[in-house]
Structure 1
Amino acid sequence: MEENDRYQLKQVCVQNPIFGPRNLGHYWGSMKDFVNNQNKFESFLIIDDIMAILMNPKEAEAIKNRTYFVVQDFINCGYDVEKNHIILTSSYMPYIMELITLYANFIDFKYCNYLYENSFLGGLKSYQREELGLNLYASVFELLYPQLGMPAISFALEVELFQGGEEIIGYTYIMNNIKNNLKKVYNDYNYPPIYEPARNGYVLGLDGEYMFQHNSIFLSEDEDSIAEKIEKIETEKVIEDWLISLGHKDLLNFYSTNNDFVYLKNFLKDLLIDELRPFRENQLMLDDLDRVIINDYEFIKAQFQGHIDLLKRKVYKM
């Protein structure tokens, strides 16, 4: 029996490396649940550097380097790269483009355009596009890839679970739309991946707002910086949210943040510093990270090509 025969289902987790090192929002919003489930499901970590470069072409070279931080943080989170898979989208550009071209026949242009107009890229002002290095008007690739890239990849990998934070829920609607349109062409209907919500889809930042780069703690941050940032937290709700995320909801039943705010804040410091220790102490060499990234290349390439051939035979009678 092959190693992967023990799995019954496949799960995929998508990460955009545009900002590099992962923070607590990524950790509690997708990483931890994904890694915890890796022994139950065959797991595919997709690092979408194509999307990152598409969003900010001026930072293309830096984004390539930031990809290493994402890989390292997942390994330090416990992701077993020997048993599971890492896919860097730029490594499979020809196959992904062919998949998108094939599936583009099964999504309405107006629907695709509507999705784009309500996306981050579609909402940019002209001066913002210029700052990011984008043309004044969207390219065809900019219109298609954000909507069809991940659905096409997920179909090709034949995954059943699409895991992650709230920002990726939209992909499930696109995949349903494509599958329903495909059904009109032939009767063999395979259900699209099911969205598997993370335990913490919405993580509060240091200021009590949604966690982003400016109000976060990074997983590889040093102890002094972690302690200093937690010390400056003024919102009780943040302390509650983080303690619950760390699995200490019971503690809040005994201590009120109104009366024991300082104690709970100090307790949180100790917990978080200890929890994030592997991210600070385990620094991998670039050669090791390169090896991990290319380790599955032939396997993934075969998966993509096999699905392309299948789709051509079934739908296009080629």
Structure 2
Amino acid sequence: MATMRDVARLAGVSVATVSFVVNDSKPVSPATRLRVESAMVELDFRRNAVARALASRRTRMIALLFPVLQHRLSDTAARFFTGAAEAASELGYTVVLWPEPSDPGALRELTSDGLIDGVILMEVRLDDHRVDRLLAARTPLTLIGRTRDPSGLDYVDVDFEGMVEQSIDRLQELGHREFVLVEEVEREGLDGYGPVVRVQETFHAVCDERGLRGRTLRCAPDPAGGRALAATLVAEAPEVTAILVLNDRAALGLVSELGKLGVSIPDELSVVLIGSTREVSEAADPALAVTLLPATELGRMGVETLVGRLDGTLGELRHELVKGPFLEGESLAPPPVANGRARLSG
């Protein structure tokens, strides 16, 4: 049975253009429309596609489930949504952002009334009740993230483990051996949140394996939390020469307040931001070294995976990790001891 991809290939256009012609949703030039319609006739696409839609009662709508009660709608989240929406449009689907409600019954309503063909879960926890409910409802789903045991599920995820190890590699090359990982304080609804757990476990495992000293400090996930942590860092961990920060908003407050306390970055302290954007890195002074979060790419991959499962074109389960590039920024230098400079002091 011919697909939109087949028509697009024969007509020499994008899948999105074929979708515009099929659904009459956007203007298409007469010449392009003629090529698409000719390809549809040659491939017998229209009759088969309509028959398949009527038989399956497909809406070609996908819900992107995001828990807004626990996570703010950041610029990074917007990049996930943008990538997902672009991929869906190219494949002839529509993505709807579904803010996860506090009422579990709302999830049942979403999947039982036939409004959506499948669900993409974001901000996945290690033990995620949403997965169990969707599987029980036989709703097709893909994860952007991983549960504790994702062996029977399709998922794409950030390679946080690889990003942490890459950051420690670079700092260790410069001579650093005393590290702090800055995480956000525990919040209700975020217990067992996959990225936080994996970053912490990887950080301590790598430090232990290499004979490095690593400890964890926590602060509120905002600039005020970062500013409050600065004094704690100076007072309680003066031996530290390198820090990895998991929350970008806290990082900006931390760097700003350290400057006010007279701590020079990178001369006295090197800083790496884990899983953020170039824009956040450059908002700090100095610009922070950062492992970039491949948000747009993962949004696209999530949709492509789910659509492949819905359309029957995806064979084996997809398990894929993506690691963003490492940008040096201006916050890296050898540790003060190596340079004969004073250690961290306020």
Task: Say whether the fold is shared (TM-score over 0.5).
Answer: no
Q: TM-score, normalised by structure 1?
A: 0.28
More strand by share: 2
Structure whose CA Rg is larger: 2
TM-score, length basis structure 2: 0.26
Q: Which has the higher helix share?
A: 1
